A and B are shown apart, each in its own frame.
Chain A
Amino acid sequence: MPQTIVNLAYLLASALFILGLKGLSHPRTAVRGNLLGAVGMLIAVLVTALDRRIVSYEMILLGLVVGSAAGALLALKIHMTAMPQMVALLNGFGGAASALVAGAALHEAQGAPAALTGQFTVATVASGLIGAVTFWGSLVAFAKLQALITENAVVFRGRHLVSGLVLAAALGFGVRLVLAPDQTATYWIVVAAGSVLGVLLTIPIGGADMPVVISLLNSYSGLAAAATGFVLDNNMLIIAGSLVGASGIILTRIMCVAMNRSLTNVLFGGFGAQPVAAASADSVYAGKVKAASAEEVAMLLETARRVVIVPGYGMAVSQAQHAVQSLANLLKSRGTEVLYGIHPVAGRMPGHMNVLLAEADVPYEDLKEMDEINPLLKQTDVAIVIGANDVVNPLARTDPNSPIAGMPIIDVDQARTVVVIKRSLSPGFAGIPNPLFAAPNTLMLFADGKKAINEIIRSLQEAGVTA
């Protein structure tokens, strides 16, 4: 196929990627957007497969069959609650593929030294380094989210120095490869250093900071693809890669702003690893915490006109989303307004709560962002907090010395009554007590999230409320 037609097809694919991402700006057009992206990818693959330089299709077919089977199996079998792990893993595979392609291109170019230009070698180093960081960083994130290793921040003294040295080594060998591109072994040293760096950068980051890490790795996987585009002199790769890079950067920023922390603080602060100096839990809670039963909560809900549900990671852990939706339906059937207040960093990745609630058939119109729900909370009869802690901690507003000072929160304390469903008074990720639990208008329902919601539903039904 003449190169002109190939390039035009690549342009078409690039345009489809942009239109596809544009489609994601509304739930109604999102499915079509995703399909447009997939069509773009299909065009790119087909056109490339017809390239006349290809002499053998055996390996290509083998790779496509194995990869498609594994990918389809993963995508169809994965539970919605495990989506953060899935996204982490996919990010990693993208990064690995980019590093491998750059490596293959470097080895191939040894036969034609004229191809070893500065652009080629610099891009190869970038692709190998970013790709390796993405792959190993994603594997660590996956292991943490899957609870294969501890979810807490793992920190050790001198970790910044070690990471710095490894980065310097990676860059040093990178420069060496640019100066002596015939030494292909240097490339694999860069990849090895990048792998170590990926682990070192992800291991000190704790569970609730995962949304930032996953967004960042998402961005890296795109940048690695873009770097590979520079290696292969292929504009489509550069375009697609930078679109994804931009997307990851935006999400990373949104997550950091939602925690009022800088990216540096998230990545290098070792947040949640050290105990913080804060008022002791005893002085905050002693004698002030009121526990309630499911029946009491049901009675409150019976007379409520507006109920706001604020979910957190705990809802995902106890798989309570379906129970929550049943409760909401029951309340709605008798005219109560039920809304959901979603904090941007609730859960383990951007949009985590939204996906879980969508799985449980909650209409997306009922899911309100923090800025939308906060003004409504003053006129809310009951706010139900299920499995969230730091994102509803009023200390963020009142205590400038708190580790979460200045973090925007969902102001559930403004509601007439707050019901917090939680197993115990244990602190959230920030490691500080939450005065909300001891507030005069708060009732604690100590139980597993799913069980508690089901008990409330049963109490409502016993009281004659039926959907």
Chain B
Amino acid sequence: MENLIGAITVFVLAMFVGFEVIVKVPPTLHTPLMSGSNAISGITIVGALLAAGVGHTTLTTVLGLLAVIFATINVVGGFLVTHRMLEMFRRK
């Protein structure tokens, strides 16, 4: 229970931080914001690595492998495409 309350506290506070930070992003950068924040949501890769590497059963390993692939596409593709877009905004 203690754990859960702690986790919920973190969740709620992080939401507030998210609102405060993101409200300030200008409309011009809304697309890079989406792709960039999307790359961050690929953080689930951390869980995927553990599932793929701990190797309890073949099933969890396969699920882990698939999750690593999906999450890595998300992370690498997301940060890279965001970088490509932002470079276009910067070069003026």
Interface residues of B in 46-92 (CB under 8 A from A): 46-57, 59-61, 63-92
List B contacts of A91 (CB < 8 A): 38, 41
Which listed residue (B4, B10, B79) contacts A119, Cβ 8 A?
A: B4
Question: Dominant SS at the B interface?
Answer: helix
Which of A41, A56, A111, A365 counts the most chain B CB atoms within 10 A? Answer: A41
List A contacts of B70 (CB < 8 A): 67, 93-94, 96-97, 100
Is B80 within 8 A of A72, CB to CB? yes
Is A244 within 8 A of B41, CB to CB? yes
Is A97 within 8 A of B53, CB to CB? no
Measured CB to CB, the closest approach of chain A to B76, in angstroms, equals 3
Is B27 within 8 A of A97, CB to CB? no
Is B56 within 8 A of A111, CB to CB? yes
Measured CB to CB, the closest approach of chain B to A421, in angstroms, equals 23
How many positions in chain B have a CB within 8 Å of any CB in the partner chain? 80
Question: Dominant SS at the A interface?
Answer: helix
Measured CB to CB, the closest approach of chain B to A23, in angstroms, equals 9
Interface residues of A (CB under 8 A from B): 17-18, 20-22, 24-28, 30-31, 33-35, 37-38, 40-41, 44-45, 48-49, 51, 53-57, 59-60, 62-64, 66-68, 70-72, 74-76, 78, 80, 83, 86-87, 90-91, 93-94, 96-98, 100-105, 107-108, 111, 118-119, 214-215, 218, 221-222, 224-226, 228-251, 254, 342, 344, 349-352, 354-355, 358-359, 361, 363-365, 367, 369
Interface residues of B (CB under 8 A from A): 3-4, 7, 10-11, 14-15, 17-19, 21-57, 59-61, 63-92
Query: What are 18 residue pairs bridging A and B, where the CB atoms are less than 8 Å apart in the complex?
Result: A21-B18, A37-B36, A60-B49, A60-B52, A63-B65, A67-B71, A67-B72, A70-B77, A78-B81, A87-B38, A90-B77, A94-B70, A107-B56, A118-B4, A224-B41, A243-B21, A354-B31, A367-B28
